[in-house]
């Protein structure tokens, strides 16, 4: 009643029990009657039938409005929010079929549920079924309508309406959440790119002046300070590079320049860079590089980045005196590069998340000096961009082996074995004096090579 009065610019009154719902009702956001089961509109020619159904539904707790005229019923639907309409067929004033009236009602309220009451004779029943399908009605009942059957049909139709409205609300919330996430993701990418750019420029100057000082300073204490500056700036440069690569991955702009690549040269350059770090921790670094490796199509800098990242991690998480082995295993159509260690290993619980961005295993966090936890994620994306796949086998406290594959061009592959093959088995783990099978995490290769 209050809604109807407001729609017609008249004063409206609400009972005290509805005070907490005042704002929703007056602003038109109240979708259901907080005091009842639902709002039902009855439309039929036969007055006694209308009265009986009205009394029965009011006794059940529904809010009911009744009409014997089609134009009045349309006015109700247009100005008020009814949840369901029960329409008898046909309506005499003005002459209109129930299906036509239902279609007009739906133009005012697409969420309105509709139940059709048709005459009991055969053609009327068949027509009711046909109209129910055509108009999308909730039910079609034969006259005279059993009150219990009517209550059941109304209850089911209102429940369907409630579910549809709830689904629509959840969909809108999901859309809104997705938009917020997209905005946040865009802000994050811009933030990473901006920070990386703004920090990299002064860092270049710091490293340049530090190198200049290292040439001129003769005092031992000052030389030690300059060395710390250069070491810290180098660490910071690595962090910035990770942010730049991650921002490129998130925006789909990771740059990979495919060209003819000599994997032996790439591995040799990585070995020369990481040998110093291995020597400082008394770790034996082994490189198993067979002769006659085929030429690959890849980005030497990016592939070297992956091998160096896996090797650096292996050295960092291996106790002093341990072993780290870089091994190249050529196959018919794929080359497998593996890095195994005798380090702390990865637990079964952490293994499924090891390639997630920003993730660091709990035991690794205690040994890690610096980093965002992006290295494995970046390496995984670089390998995927080359048409390969990356995997890991590990056992907590025993060691790990990270490996990835790179495709061999058809011109270099054996003619009889140029068909594609699945990801090769993981390289053998270092001896751990156990027969217990270890968990395995593999990232599948893309279907097509970029």
pLDDT of residue 327: 94
pLDDT digits (tens), the chain, 450 positions: 555 555 556 665 656 666 666 666 556 555 444 445 788 999 888 888 888 888 888 888 888 888 888 888 888 888 877 889 998 876 766 677 777 888 888 888 888 888 888 776 545 545 545 655 566 777 878 888 888 888 889 888 888 888 888 898 899 889 988 888 888 777 777 776 677 667 777 878 888 888 888 888 888 888 888 888 887 887 777 777 777 787 778 777 788 889 999 999 999 999 998 998 899 899 999 999 998 889 999 999 999 999 999 999 999 889 999 999 999 999 889 999 999 999 888 888 888 888 888 777 776 766 655 567 788 999 999 999 999 999 999 888 889 999 999 999 887 665 434 444 444 444 444 433 333 334 445 554 444 433
DSSP letter assigned to residue 439: P
Is the domain spanning 39-145 CATH 1.10.357.10? The answer is no
Spatial separation of the C-alpha atoms in residues 198 and 44, rounded to whole Å: 75
Q: Where are the domains of the chain?
A: 39-145, 178-251, 259-407
In terms of Cβ atoms closer than 10 Å to its own Cβ (0-12, 13-18, 19+), residue 6 is: middle
pLDDT in the model for residue 413:
62
What pLDDT is attached to residue 315? 92
For domain 259-407, give the CATH number: 3.30.565.10
Residue labelled with tokens 């610096």: 370
pLDDT at residue number 122? 46
Question: Chain centroid to CA 188: how far?
Answer: 16
Task: Note the pLDDT of residue 441.
Answer: 53
pLDDT attached to residue 403: 95
Provide the pLDDT for residue 130.
60
Q: Strand (E) positions, 89-247?
A: 113-118, 139-142
3-state helix, strand, coil in the chain (%, to 5): 50, 15, 35
> What's the predicted TM-score (pTM) here?
0.53
Pick one of 3.30.300, 3.40.50, 1.25.40, 1.10.287 as the CATH number of 178-251: 1.10.287
End-to-end CA distance of the chain: 66
d(CA 306, CA 180): 33
DSSP string spanning 51-87?
Answer: HHHHHHHHHHT-EEEEESBHHHHHHHHHHS--SEEEE
**Region of residue 316 (phi > 0: left; psi between -120 and 50: alpha; otherwise: beta):** alpha
Q: How far is CA 81 from CA 32, 54, 63, 111, 229, in A?
A: 9, 18, 11, 10, 72
Domains 178-251 and 259-407 equal at CATH topology level:
no
Look at residue 36 in the predicted model and tell me its pLDDT: 58
Distance CA 58, CA 53 (A): 9
The pLDDT assigned to 222 comes to 85
């Amino acid at each position: 009643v209050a809604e109807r009065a407001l729609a017609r610019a008249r004063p409206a009154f609400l009972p005290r029990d509805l005070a907490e719902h005042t704002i929703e009702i007056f602003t038109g956001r109240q979708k259901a009657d907080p005091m009842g089961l639902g709002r039902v509109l009855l439309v039929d020619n036969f007055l006694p039938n209308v009265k009986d159904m009205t009394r029965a539904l009011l006794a059940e707790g529904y809010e009911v409005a009744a009409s014997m005229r089609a134009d009045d019923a349309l006015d109700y639907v247009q100005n008020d929010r009814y949840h369901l309409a029960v329409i008898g067929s046909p309506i005499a004033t003005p002459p209109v079929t129930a299906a036509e009236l239902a279609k007009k009602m739906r133009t005012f309220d697409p969420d309105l549920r509709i139940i059709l009451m048709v005459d009991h004779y055969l053609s009327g029943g068949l027509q009711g079924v046909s109209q129910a399908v055509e108009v999308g009605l909730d039910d079609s009942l034969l006259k005279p309508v059993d009150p219990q059957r009517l209550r059941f049909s109304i209850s089911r139709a209102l429940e369907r309406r409630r579910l549809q409205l709830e689904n629509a609300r959840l969909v809108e919330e999901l859309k809104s959440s997705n938009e917020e996430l997209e905005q946040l993701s865009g802000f994050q990418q811009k933030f990473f790119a901006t920070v990386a750019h703004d920090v990299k420029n002064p860092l270049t100057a710091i490293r340049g002046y530090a190198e200049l000082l290292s040439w001129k300073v003769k005092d031992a204490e000052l030389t030690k300070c300059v060395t710390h500056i250069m070491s810290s700036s180098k660490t910071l440069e690595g962090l910035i590079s990770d942010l730049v690569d991650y921002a490129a991955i998130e925006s789909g702009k990771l740059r990979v320049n495919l060209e003819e690549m000599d994997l032996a040269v790439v591995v040799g350059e990585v070995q020369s860079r990481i040998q110093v770090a291995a020597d400082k921790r008394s770790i034996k670094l082994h490189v198993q590089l067979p002769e006659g490796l085929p030429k690959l199509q890849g980005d030497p800098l990016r592939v070297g980045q992956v091998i160096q990242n896996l090797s650096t991690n292996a050295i960092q998480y291996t106790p002093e005196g341990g072993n780290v082995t870089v091994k190249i295993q050529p196959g018919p159509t794929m080359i497998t590069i593996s890095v195994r260690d005798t380090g702390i290993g990865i637990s079964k619980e952490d293994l499924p998340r090891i390639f997630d961005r920003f993730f660091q295993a709990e035991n690794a966090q205690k040994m890690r000096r610096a980093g965002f936890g992006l290295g494995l994620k970046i390496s995984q994306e670089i390998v995927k961009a080359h048409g390969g796949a990356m995997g890991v086998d590990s056992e907590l406290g025993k060691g790990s082996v990270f490996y990835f594959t790179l495709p061999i061009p058809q011109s270099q592959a054996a003619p009889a074995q140029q068909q594609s093959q699945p990801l090769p088995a993981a390289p053998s783990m270092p001896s751990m004096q156990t027969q217990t099978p270890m968990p395995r995490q593999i990232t599948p290769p893309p279907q097509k090579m970029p």
